Structure 1
Amino acid sequence: MQMAGLGYSEEQIELLDVATSFCRDKSPIDKVRKLMESDTGFDADIWAEMAALGWTAIAIPEVHGGVGLSLAEVVPVVEQMGRHLMASPFVASTLASQTLIAGGTETQQSHWLPKLAEGAIGTLALFEAHGDWDLGNITAAAKSDGDSLLLSGEKLFVQWGGNAELVIASVMLDGKAALILLDAAQVAGRLRREAIIDETKRSFALMLDGLSIPKSAALDIGKAMQILAHIEQAATLLQSAEMCGGSQSVIDYTVSYLQTRKQFGKIIGEYQALKHPTVDAYVDYEKARSHLYSAASSFSDQGLGEVAVRMAKAAADGVYSFAADRAIQFHGGFGFTHDCDAGLHRRAAIFHASQFGDAAWQRAKLSHLLLG
């Protein structure tokens, strides 16, 4: 099996250049910490700027008001967001649009995709209390009631649900997995803010009990499992990008400290016990980033794309966790306080690992894909 090359498209290079400066300027660490304490968790004005730049439209077809590129071009943007811990509904909204592209009806696509392209916020409601990363394990249900569907159950980790105009939820309908569209009015009063370890994000539980929606709100039921598989791969790719960006940031943060902190009359970066793990983290980061852009290039290739994406997530999860953990340790007592930025990255790494499968889970999936 031959993996994709490591080159970059012109579009990726241009987007990386713009995203690098934009995220650096719009998401300094003091702004990150300020937003962590805010009600919404993100800056609506900056979100509008991102939409004006066309980022929310990157992977949406031109026929629906999008730019007409692919997730490969979304990757460099998300990477820089992760590098600067940029709080925004960008990934959640991109995944919502990908869901519609993969299995929405013409009516659903023509109604929602132009809105998402212009900056309307969408999100997904796929996880439940059992914590299974198998998206086909669904206990929330939809029961036919004439021309309507009566819903029951609860969904967890609905990211940015409090500001979403569109929520796409997974349910079981007539013994089969199904995806349904819910608008802001339908979920109003049904969302409960969750306390999660990564405070740069906002997460909600969604109670579905007693909610009635028209049957036309369901996506193509015959494609539901195919859509869920696509969502998982898309989410895993974008998580890998965010984690690679975060890894670069926390390594830079650590190196800066090692080059300036003195102890016993020496710069502490001269000590091998600190130097060698930092080099290991950097080498692993470069490997993970190579996996990331290989996965971005081969994402749409059947079979090969899944292998590349799972390798990317496993590598990114490993290095982000390790680099952030070493950064905390190397900062001594300060590293264990809330004021140390390394702790924010460690929390982000833990949360990413909890969504769509950690490194061990990805490797288990890879073993079946590669060894049969």
Structure 2
Amino acid sequence: MTLVLNEEQRLLKDTAKDFLARVMPVAALRELRDQKDELGFNPNHWQQMVELGWASMVLPEAYDGLDFGYMGLGAVIEESGRTLAASPLFSTVVLGSTIIIEGGSEEQKSTFLPQIAAGTLSLALALEEKPHHQPSDFATTAVADGDDYIINGEKLFVLDGHSADYLIVATRLQTGTGLFIVDANTDGIERRRHHLIDSRNAATVRFNHVRVKASSLIGNAEQGQDILNTAMDYGRICLAAEMLGAASECFERTVAYLKERDQFGVKIGSFQALQHRAAKMFIELELSKSVVLDALSAIDEKRADLPQLASLAKARLNDVFELITNEAVQMHGGIGVTDELDIGFFLKRSRVATQILGNSHFHRDRYASLCGY
């Protein structure tokens, strides 16, 4: 287990950093917000990301993927956090494709994965049903009816759910958890878009007697929860990587401000109290880098401690991202809460990202349970 990137991964990270800084800076997210963009992301930017191979990075070569691994994808996602880049990368590639790879039939894999690699198909995971993360015991049901299933229920906070081509719906079957891949335009599906405070998008999705073929079930009732748990852990780790990138950028912008802002005739960065607080942030970031790299490597190595590392990474980055964005606003003073400064975008992203796939309370409890406490 090496907690450093190899030469290919470093090159990939540098390429991503250059592309995102040029093409998708924070100003691009601001523009999407101000225009109330219908998709919530720029399709031209997404296509460029696809051409760089990001959509196919973790897909098997047999389905037009690169099979480059999650250490590589994590490096890209970390850089996307620095610019708060909005795209379907997380919902489609990290969550959606993982479920298909882990549990899909040969027909499902050959149908959907090449389209994901080509950037012509987007997915959204319809999971949450309550205000807080609860990844099991669903109220949404799928009842067998001949060769079909009938889905009824409502899903909340479906990331990119308003624009996805297909939805992967977590349901309660008679004997377990069912994951169905469903065309988002199927009769009986109602989607209501929500603009989140971080300028991203989610949707409430209602299923009213939605009829789907039995062939749309991914895996079976006995496998469903395990497949879902794996995808969520991959998602938690990749989200932690994004949060690490965003927190790092926020910290660097804050340190730069401390070096240039004058107060009482001196740079405020010379104040010992602020130096100590900046040192605290630096230490927390360095520790977080190791946690995220370890978790990403655990995915590629299929390690048994992956669930523990996923909760460790998500809980830690929840706390660190919140700490750094809070400190950044305070150290910038009054201008820190103005819309013209980008710092506020990072703070708002931290508040949303913290809640996705479990907040710190959820993951501390889960980590303790996984460790036998």
TM range (shorter): over 0.9
Q: Is the 8 A contact 1:193 1:204 kept in 2?
A: yes
- 1:324 is matched with which residue? 325
Does structure 1 residue 134 correspond to structure 2 residue 122? no
How many angstroms apart in 2 are the aligned matches of 1:292 and 1:188?
Answer: 40
- 2:273 is matched with which residue? 273
Deviation at 1:317, TM superposition (A): 1.4
Q: Is the 8 A contact 2:336 2:344 kept in 1?
A: yes
Match of 1:34 among 4, 25, 31: 31
How many angstroms apart in 2 are the aligned matches of 1:258 and 1:281?
Answer: 14
Deviation at 1:348, TM superposition (A): 0.9
- 1:349 is matched with which residue? 350
- 2:103 is matched with which residue? 103
Deviations along 1:242-268, whole A, 9 cap, x unmatched?
000001110011111111111111111
Per the normalisation by structure 2, the TM-score is 0.94
* SS of 1:133 mapped into structure 2: coil
Whichever residue aligns with residue 291 of structure 2, its letter is H
Deviation at 1:188, TM superposition (A): 8.5
* SS of 1:164 mapped into structure 2: coil
Moved more, 162-171 or 185-194: 185-194
Q: Which consecutive aligned stretches of 4+ in structure 1 deviate over 6 angstroms post-superposition?
A: none
Per the normalisation by structure 1, the TM-score is 0.94
Structure 1 residues 182 and 21: alpha-carbon distance in aligned structure 2, compared to 1, 3 A threshold: same
Deviation at 1:189, TM superposition (A): 6.2
Does structure 1 residue 24 correspond to structure 2 residue 21? yes
How many angstroms apart in 2 are the aligned matches of 1:309 and 1:140?
Answer: 26
Does structure 1 residue 67 correspond to structure 2 residue 66? yes
Whichever residue aligns with residue 213 of structure 1, its letter is V
The aligned runs of 1:272-351 (5 Å cut-off) are: 272-299=272-299, 300-351=301-352
How many angstroms apart in 2 are the aligned matches of 1:368 and 1:11?
Answer: 37
- 1:157 is matched with which residue? 157
- 1:55 is matched with which residue? 54
How many angstroms apart in 2 are the aligned matches of 1:18 and 1:50?
Answer: 11
* SS of 1:163 mapped into structure 2: coil
Deviation at 1:281, TM superposition (A): 0.8
Q: Is the 8 A contact 1:187 1:206 kept in 2?
A: no
Does structure 1 residue 184 correspond to structure 2 residue 184? yes
Deviations along 1:69-92, whole A, 9 cap, x unmatched?
222221001000011100111111
Structure 1 residues 371 and 210: alpha-carbon distance in aligned structure 2, compared to 1, 3 A threshold: closer
- 2:123 is matched with which residue? 122
Deviation at 1:367, TM superposition (A): 1.9
Structure 1 residues 27 and 289: alpha-carbon distance in aligned structure 2, compared to 1, 3 A threshold: same
Q: State the identity as a percent.
A: 29
Whichever residue aligns with residue 307 of structure 1, its letter is Q
How many angstroms apart in 2 are the aligned matches of 1:187 and 1:202?
Answer: 23
Deviations along 1:270-320, whole A, 9 cap, x unmatched?
112222111211111111011111111122434322222222222211111
Structure 1 residues 261 and 188: alpha-carbon distance in aligned structure 2, compared to 1, 3 A threshold: farther
Deviation at 1:145, TM superposition (A): 1.7
Structure 1 residues 342 and 30: alpha-carbon distance in aligned structure 2, compared to 1, 3 A threshold: same
* SS of 1:339 mapped into structure 2: coil
Deviation at 1:64, TM superposition (A): 0.7
Does structure 1 residue 9 correspond to structure 2 residue 6? yes
Q: Is the 8 A contact 1:153 1:207 kept in 2?
A: yes
How many angstroms apart in 1 are the aligned matches of 2:227 and 2:265?
Answer: 59
In structure 2, the gaps of 5 or more residues are none
* SS of 2:223 mapped into structure 1: helix
How many angstroms apart in 2 are the aligned matches of 1:311 and 1:60?
Answer: 26
Deviation at 1:132, TM superposition (A): 4.4
Alpha-carbon RMSD across the aligned residues, in angstroms, is: 1.6
Q: Is the 8 A contact 2:259 2:269 kept in 1?
A: yes
Deviation at 1:371, TM superposition (A): 4.4
Deviations along 1:97-138, whole A, 9 cap, x unmatched?
01100111111111001101111211211111x234331121
Structure 1 residues 285 and 236: alpha-carbon distance in aligned structure 2, compared to 1, 3 A threshold: same
In structure 1, the gaps of 5 or more residues are none
* SS of 2:66 mapped into structure 1: coil
How many angstroms apart in 1 are the aligned matches of 2:351 and 2:78?
Answer: 17
- 2:228 is matched with which residue? 228
